[in-house]
Amino acid sequence: MNFEENKDLAHRQHVKYFMRFLNVLPSSLAAHDSTRMTIAYFSVAGLDVLGAISTVSLDMRSRIIEWIYRLQVHPNKDRCESDMRFVYCAACISYMLHDWSGFDIDKTTDFIINSILESHGGTTFCALASLSLMNQMHKLTEAQVEGLKRWLMYRQVDGFQGRPNKPVDTCYSFWVGASLKILDTLKFTNYGSNRRYVYDTQDTVVGGFSKWPDTCTDPMHTYLGLAGLSLIGENGLLEIEPRLNITKRAYEHLKTLHRSWDNQS
Amino acid sequence: MSDSGDDAAWVPYKERPEWGDVTPVKEDDGSNPVVVIAYSEKLLQLTKDAVELNPANYTVWQYRRDILKALGGDLMSELDYMEAVIKQSPKNYQDPSRELELTGDALLHDPKNYHAWQHRQWAMKTFGLLTDDVRNNSAWNQRYFIVNNHLGWSDINVQKEICYTLEKIKFIKNNESAWNYLRGVLLHDKRGLSGNAVVTSFCEELYKNKCRSSYLLAFLIDICDEALKKGENNSLHNCNRAMELCAALANKYDKIRSKYWNYISTKFIKYQTESESNKNGADKLIE
DSSP assignment of B42-88 equals HHHHHHHHHHHH-TT-HHHHHHHHHHHHHHT--HHHHHHHHHHHHHH
Q: Is 60 exceeded by the pLDDT of residue B15?
A: yes
Q: Cβ contact (<8 Å) for B260 and A189?
A: yes
Residue B184 vs residue B275, higher pLDDT:
B184
By C-alpha distance, which of A158, A148, A164 is closest to A197? A158
- Residues of chain A found within 8 Å of residue B92, distances taken between Cβ atoms: 31
Report the pLDDT value the prediction gives residue B5, as an integer from 0 to 100: 46
Q: Distance between CA B287 and CA B284 in Å, rounded?
A: 5
The CA distance from A68 to the nearest CA of chain B, in Å, is 11
Q: Mean of the per-residue pLDDT values for chain A? A: 90
Q: Residue A209: beta bridge partners?
A: A202
Q: What's the mean pLDDT in A49-75?
A: 86
Q: Distance between CA A211 and CA B57 in Å, rounded?
A: 22
Judge contact between A246 and A240, C-beta under 8 A.
yes
- Residues of chain B found within 8 Å of residue A31, distances taken between Cβ atoms: 54, 56, 92
Interface of A with B in 191-250 (CB under 8 A): 193
Q: Taking CA atoms, what residue in A is nearest to B28?
A: A71
Q: Distance between CA B83 and CA B124 in Å, rounded?
A: 12
The CA distance from A55 to the nearest CA of chain B, in Å, is 29
Judge contact between B204 and B171, C-beta under 8 A.
no
Give the Cα-Cα-Cα angle B95, B99, B105 (nearest 5 degrees): 140
Judge contact between A175 and A125, C-beta under 8 A.
yes
Report the pLDDT value the prediction gives residue B9, as an integer from 0 to 100: 74
Q: Is 90 exceeded by the pLDDT of residue B156?
A: yes
Query: Which pairs count as long-range contacts for B245-250, CB under 8 Å and 24+ apart, including other chains?
Result: B245/B217, B245/B220, B245/B221, B246/B221, B248/B212, B248/B217, B249/B214, B249/B217, B249/B218
Residue B223 vs residue B104, higher pLDDT:
B223
- Residues of chain A found within 8 Å of residue B223, distances taken between Cβ atoms: none
Q: Spell out the residues 6+ positions from residue B112 whose beta carbon is closer than 8 angstroms to its own.
A: none
Q: Distance between CA B20 and CA B231 in Å, rounded?
A: 77
Report the pLDDT value the prediction gives residue B247, as an integer from 0 to 100: 98
Residue A227 vs residue B138, higher pLDDT:
A227
The CA distance from B271 to the nearest CA of chain A, in Å, is 15
Q: Cβ contact (<8 Å) for B259 and A79?
A: no
Q: Distance between CA A134 and CA B285 in Å, rounded?
A: 47
- Residues of chain B found within 8 Å of residue A193, distances taken between Cβ atoms: 256
Binned at pLDDT 50, 70 and 90, residue B30 comes out as very low
Report the pLDDT value the prediction gives residue A106, as an integer from 0 to 100: 94
Q: Residue A247: beta bridge partners?
A: A240
Q: What's the mean pLDDT in B7-23?
A: 79
By C-alpha distance, which of B91, B10, B88 is closest to B49? B10
Q: Chain A interface, mutation test: which of B61, B100, B120, B180, most A Cβ atoms within 10 Å?
A: B180
Amino acid at position B99, single letter: E
Q: How many contacts (CB atoms, under 8 Å) link A and B?
A: 70
Q: Cβ contact (<8 Å) for B257 and A164?
A: no
Nearest to A116 among B56, B59, B148 (CB): B148
Binned at pLDDT 50, 70 and 90, residue B32 comes out as very low
- Residues of chain A found within 8 Å of residue B183, distances taken between Cβ atoms: 147
- Pick from A116-130, A210-224, B247-261: least confident: A116-130
A77 touches chain B (CB under 8 A): no
- Residues of chain B found within 8 Å of residue A79, distances taken between Cβ atoms: 36, 66
Report the pLDDT value the prediction gives residue B110, as an integer from 0 to 100: 66
Q: Is 80 exceeded by the pLDDT of residue B26?
A: no
Q: Cβ contact (<8 Å) for A156 and B257?
A: yes
A232 to each of A151, A155, A180, A198, A228, how far by Cα in Å? 19, 16, 11, 12, 7
Report the pLDDT value the prediction gives residue B39, as an integer from 0 to 100: 56
List B26, B91, B190, B259, catalytic entry: B91
pTM: 0.81
Q: Distance between CA B139 and CA B180 in Å, rounded?
A: 12
Give the Cα-Cα-Cα angle A225, A231, A233 (nearest 5 degrees): 110
Query: Alpha-carbon torsion B168, B170, B174, B178, what sign?
Result: positive
B91 is catalytic: yes
- Pick from B67-76, B81-90, B271-280: least confident: B81-90
B69 to each of B72, B74, B215, how far by Cα in Å? 5, 9, 44
By C-alpha distance, which of B131, B220, B236, B217 is closest to B174? B217
Q: Residue A202: beta bridge partners?
A: A209
Task: Give chain B's contact residues with A (Cβ, < 8 Å).
Answer: 28-30, 32-33, 36, 54, 56-59, 62, 66, 92, 135-138, 141, 144, 148, 175-177, 180, 183, 218, 256-260, 263
- Residues of chain A found within 8 Å of residue B28, distances taken between Cβ atoms: 70
Binned at pLDDT 50, 70 and 90, residue A36 comes out as confident
Judge contact between A165 and B237, C-beta under 8 A.
no
Report the pLDDT value the prediction gives residue A81, as an integer from 0 to 100: 53
Report the pLDDT value the prediction gives residue B33, as an integer from 0 to 100: 27
Q: What's the mean pLDDT in A218-224?
A: 96
- Pick from A38-47, A69-78, B2-11, B203-212: least confident: B2-11
Q: Cβ contact (<8 Å) for B135 and A79?
A: no
Q: Distance between CA B100 and CA B121 in Å, rounded?
A: 10
Report the pLDDT value the prediction gives residue B146, as an integer from 0 to 100: 78
Q: Is 70 exceeded by the pLDDT of residue A94?
A: yes
Q: Taking CA atoms, what residue in B is nearest to A119?
A: B141
CATH of domain A3-73+141-264: 1.50.10.20
Q: Taking CA atoms, what residue in B is nearest to A68?
A: B29
Q: Cβ contact (<8 Å) for A33 and B36?
A: no
Report the pLDDT value the prediction gives residue B29, as an integer from 0 to 100: 44
Chain centre distance of CA B269: 35
Q: Mean of the per-residue pLDDT values for chain B? A: 81
State percent of chain A over pLDDT 70: 91
Query: Alpha-carbon torsion A122, A124, A128, A134, what sign?
Result: positive
ipTM score above 0.90: yes
Report the pLDDT value the prediction gives residue A192, as an integer from 0 to 100: 98
Q: Distance between CA B160 and CA B155 in Å, rounded?
A: 9
Judge contact between B156 and B162, C-beta under 8 A.
no
Q: Is 80 exceeded by the pLDDT of residue A73?
A: no
Q: Distance between CA A201 and CA A187 in Å, rounded?
A: 23
